[in-house]
Amino acid sequence: MSRSAFDPFGEPVPAVDPSTEPVRASKWLKSAGIGLFWGLVGVIVLARAVFFEPSDLTFERAVAWAQSLLASL
């Protein structure tokens, strides 16, 4: 038998079975937000690498690489 749960004011909280809860949009929004965040992190890190380390990866070489990648597709 499960123990009863109470809110901060002492009122009993009804038990909810998680398998019967409907899928909420917040679950999808959370996944989309996480994906957007890490995508932006990747873009920012790549942009910083191109901008601040021009000897290793110049803008012209990056453009040439992107064009060759698009041409191969």
Task: Render 11-38 in DSSP notation, one character per residue.
Answer: -EE----GGGSPPPHHHHHHHHHHHHHH
CA distances from 12 to 8, 9, 72 (A): 10, 9, 64
CA distances from 26 to 30, 32, 33, 38 (A): 6, 10, 10, 18
CA distances from 43 to 10, 12, 48, 55 (A): 49, 49, 9, 19
Global pTM value: 0.43
Domain boundaries in the chain? 24-72
pLDDT digits (tens, 9 = 90+) for 7-53: 888 888 877 766 666 667 788 899 999 999 999 999 999 888 777 76
